[in-house]
Chains A and B, each alone.
Chain A
Amino acid sequence: MSITLDQVTKHYAGAPVVNDVSLDIGDGEFFVLLGPSGSGKSTLLRAIAGLSGVDHGRIALHGRDVTHVAARKRGVGLVFQNYALFRHMTVAENIEFALRVRHMRAGARRQRRQELLRLVALEGMDQRLPAQLSGGQQQRVAVARALAHKPEVLLLDEPFGALDAKIREELRRTIRQVQRELGITTVLVTHDQEEAFAMADRIGVMNLGRLLEMGAPHDLYSRPATRFVATFLGAANLILARRTPDGIQMGANTVAAAERSADVDEREVVAVVRPEEVEVAASREALSSGYLARGVVAEVVFTGALESLRVRLENGVQAPLLAQPDGAAGASLLVTRTQHEQRGFEIHPGQDVAIGVRRVHVLPTPLSSFTACAASPALADALSRQPLLAELAVRMKTRIAMRAEPQLGVPEAACAADGPFVGTTALASQADCAHRAEWLLRRGAQDLLVLPEHAAVPQRVLIHWMGEGSRSATLAVSASVLRHLSAEAVYVGIFPQQSARVRAQHGMRDLLDARSEAQLAHGLEMRTELRFGDVAQELALRLAEAPAQMLIVGVTELTRFAERFRGLLDGGQWPMLIVYRGSP
């Protein structure tokens, strides 16, 4: 491995900017770190270069641990967004700088310089000053300068940011060519997904300091695991759908056969439909793909090779569309069509069309939407405006439904509302909370989010499960929640006091197992802690240690639930997510 990052964390003013990032980049690989501004990608690159330290974790280059090695001794080449050429030196002096530092003889220096200038196609420019070159040429010089000392790793920090489109494309090709020719391991940081697709062997998508997903461009595009990646890499229609034995049901129609999965539960899921996978035709019969609904064309935009449509779904369709690429609300679907398709069926705004879906991808996230549950509609409405819940819904681009249960918490009473509990059920934290939570869990709620009135976005999330049966579900839910928070994740393992010595060894192994499962199956990096004592008591103690914490706890049985959780739930100050996976 050329570059190995192990749980790299960097805090700025108390908040993590890079959050537990682990990553392996192979020899000669072109890796692109993609993310919006503020996602921590540049900070991570600077950490690899050694220009900023890390608070936690390790960095290795070619198997050599460089976490505490000074930047000048790391032997990397770094290219900056604004070139950072030495403005008082000529092109030749700029390129030879690293060689002069290494006391190379003038003749050898000149030879290497000629070689590099040829590589970046700038022969004969030796005696120019940077100010006499165009932006694209300056960046070529910067690339040549960064390569002069034959670094093992080339790091590019938004190298095309300051260039216009034509030059950008040309330079992109040059850099890719140089990289292939030298076989040098390269990391490029960018916020431009097109650039990432064009250059990368592998892309890592970052958001809120976390590395969310990695993979080959095509895999990430066609099978994203998270909402963020689905919408950040290209445009996507996110749709709340139901997974049924027959397929993916959107509204009244089942549009596609379900992908094979071990999870056979019928439940709400988040479906991704790319705009180019939507088909429009004059009638349902003319569609060659699964019928979704009828719609009215709201907008037609010609963009050259492709035509972009916005189609408003007609009433009666039950599929609420979660997110539009531009954030616009309302049930309208983004569609792109090729010239060929346009010739086959011409479309005008206001036209009534039949909509079909060619391909649906279902996100593996267990969190689809929220249902605010309370004793009356007014209370449910108030709960839906709780700051943390509202913030989560916005970040997850999902909706908050409301459900009134007048008999909430009354023993033996049945549910008043029809239908199963959909998505994650939210419950206000109050005096008799433990009983209400048990009441809901016994009546089919699986993921229960208990919210104190003023709880805000947490900085740390504690994870614990009671019973191995809820382990993988808890990890999946935790990973899904944490993708939308910049909080750090800590798994708290708790063992009974009396068996401390015997269990300690056993406990450590459990911790490591949990950590590696979180990493492998869910891409979630977490810290681990081991404590001894009563579970609820230890968790309460741990939560009291610092403000702005949240607890995610997995349970497999509800016997004595209210009794055990009273201390944590009744009037608790922290948000708590209960993941219940009982055996039927």
Chain B
Amino acid sequence: MGAALPSALAGDATRPGQHTWLHSLVRWLFIAVSLTFLAAVLLAPLATVFVMALERGLQAYLHSFADPDTAAAVRLTLTTALVVVPINTLFGLAAAWAIAKFEFRGKSILITLIDLPLAISPVISGMIFVLLFGLHGWFGVWLREHDLSIIFALPGIMLATMFVTFPYVARELIPLMQQLGNDEEEAAITLGAGGWMTFFHVTLPKIRWGLLYGMVLCNARAMGEFGAVSVVSGHIRGLTNTMPLHIEILYNEYNFVGAFAVASLLTLLAALTLVVKTLVERTGYRRR
């Protein structure tokens, strides 16, 4: 039986449309394996987050958010995302536009550079900014003379987050814009439309779902970034701790309820992002 199975399988595979009991057995087997795997690796840890967070009851769970440091961390994370996502959206649009619509020297270098943050370790991304703006960095002395702080302050966190998230919008838009081509824009121009009119009435509607998808991905990473931010933030409670950093601190202090409560909030935000993404995809595909 065991020996007969593979050959029977191979025979079936070459004849589509034939549903034998063996065929459906294999199908269920595959589904079962992947679901089990998913449950073990993904769902169980997720569930653990919520179970641990609610271990001492809802009261304790809600109480952990009353802690001013925790509230500050939530605020910081949201502020960072709110600043970083729009800036990277603009940058991504500009870069994708330049790459898809024009031929220029150094185009391939630009494409490679956009991918750079995806390739290098987040810790190194953070280090770069410390080396640039830290006390012993290139601009460190100048910054101190002018009483400006970037590292171990909000600007550093934003810069590091921006650095690690800037590929997302551009990456999403470049292939889309290349595939959609220039014809509609050219048609608009021959019909008398100027640059802004063409952009807002033709290009933007054409790419809006891709753009939104890129923004959602960018936002997810901006809120969840740990490595790069950890290097530049300095872990000052209530000031420069983002949610992921705060979770680590709470955990290290054996405040499991607090740590997992914040973790559950971050998870919920991520889930929300994914829901938005799914909705965007559905609407987008239907409209496209």
Contact = CB atoms under 8 A, between A and B. Distances in A.
Contacts of B184: 84-87
A77 interface: yes
Contacts of B55: none
A148 B193 CA distance: 13
A546 interface: no
Interface in A88-112: 88-89, 97-98, 101-102
B67 interface: no
Interface in B164-222: 183-184, 186-194, 197, 201-202, 205-206
Contact of B193 (A50, A72, A78, A89): A72
Given A51-B186, A87-B184, A101 B287 contact: no
Question: How big is the A interface, by class?
Answer: 20 to 34
Contacts of B189: 51, 71-72
A74 B205 CA distance: 26
A101 B183 contact: no
A82 interface: yes
Given A78-B186, A78-B187, A88 B193 contact: no
Interface string A61-89: 00000000001111111101010111111
A97 B184 CA distance: 12
Nearest to A75: B192
B190 A78 contact: yes
A145 interface: yes
Nearest to B202: A86
A97 B190 contact: no
B163 to A, nearest CB: 34
A362 interface: no
The CB with the most chain B CB atoms within 10 A, among A51, A72, A146, is that of A72
Nearest to A46: B186
Interface in A179-193: none
A361 interface: no
B193 A101 contact: yes
Contacts of A97: 188, 191, 193, 201
Contacts of A460: none
Given A51-B186, A78-B186, A87 B206 contact: yes
A487 to B, nearest CB: 25
A80 B205 contact: no
A78 B194 CA distance: 16
Contacts of B206: 86-88
Contacts of A75: 192
Contacts of A404: none
A84 B287 contact: no
B187 A80 contact: yes
The CB with the most chain A CB atoms within 10 A, among B183, B187, B190, B193, is that of B190
Contacts of B193: 72, 97, 101
B192 A149 contact: yes
A49 interface: yes
A149 B188 CA distance: 12
A80 B183 contact: yes
A545 B187 CA distance: 43
Contact of B192 (A49, A82, A98): A98
Contacts of A72: 189-194
Contact of B186 (A84, A85, A148): A84
Nearest to B187: A84
A82 B206 CA distance: 16
A102 B193 CA distance: 9
Interface string B142-179: 00000000000000000000000000000000000000
Given A80-B183, A101-B197, A88 B205 contact: yes
A84 B183 contact: yes
Contact of A76 (B188, B190, B287): B190
A80 B202 CA distance: 16
Interface string B248-288: 00000000000000000000000000000000000000011
A86 B208 CA distance: 14
A73 B201 CA distance: 19
Contacts of B192: 72-73, 75, 98, 101-102, 149
The CB with the most chain A CB atoms within 10 A, among B191, B197, B202, is that of B191
A82 B183 CA distance: 8
Contacts of B197: 101
A189 to B, nearest CB: 15
A46 to B, nearest CB: 8
A142 to B, nearest CB: 8
A77 B190 contact: yes
Nearest to B185: A84
Given A80-B183, A101-B197, A86 B190 contact: no
B188 A86 contact: yes
Contacts of A86: 184, 187-188, 201-202, 205-206
Interface in B90-138: none
A419 B186 CA distance: 61
B105 to A, nearest CB: 13
Contacts of B190: 49-51, 71-72, 74, 76-78, 146
A75 B192 CA distance: 7
A576 B189 CA distance: 47
A87 B209 CA distance: 13
Nearest to A102: B192
Contacts of B188: 86, 97
Contact of B287 (A77, A78, A88, A145): A88
A71 B191 CA distance: 9
B191 A101 contact: yes
B207 to A, nearest CB: 10
A520 B201 CA distance: 48
Nearest to A131: B288
Contacts of B202: 86
B206 to A, nearest CB: 7
A51 B287 CA distance: 29
Nearest to A77: B190
Contacts of A73: 192
A31 B193 CA distance: 27
Contacts of A76: 190
Interface string A126-163: 00000000000000001001101100000000000000
Contacts of B205: 86, 88-89
A149 B193 CA distance: 12
Nearest to B180: A87
A50 B187 CA distance: 11
A80 to B, nearest CB: 5
B103 to A, nearest CB: 10
Contacts of A88: 205-206, 287
The CB with the most chain A CB atoms within 10 A, among B188, B189, B192, B202, is that of B192
B209 to A, nearest CB: 10
Given A86-B202, A87-B206, A88-B206, A98 B186 contact: no
Contacts of A89: 205
B107 to A, nearest CB: 15
Contacts of A51: 186, 189-190
A563 B25 CA distance: 95
Contacts of A87: 184, 206, 288
Contacts of A148: 191
6 contacts: A72-B191, A76-B190, A82-B183, A84-B183, A84-B186, A145-B191
Interface of B: 183-184, 186-194, 197, 201-202, 205-206, 287-288
Given A87-B206, A101-B192, 14 more contacts: A72-B192, A75-B192, A77-B190, A77-B191, A80-B187, A84-B186, A85-B184, A86-B188, A86-B201, A88-B206, A98-B192, A145-B187, A148-B191, A149-B192
The 6 closest A-B pairs by CB, nearest first: A84-B183, A98-B191, A88-B205, A78-B190, A84-B187, A101-B192
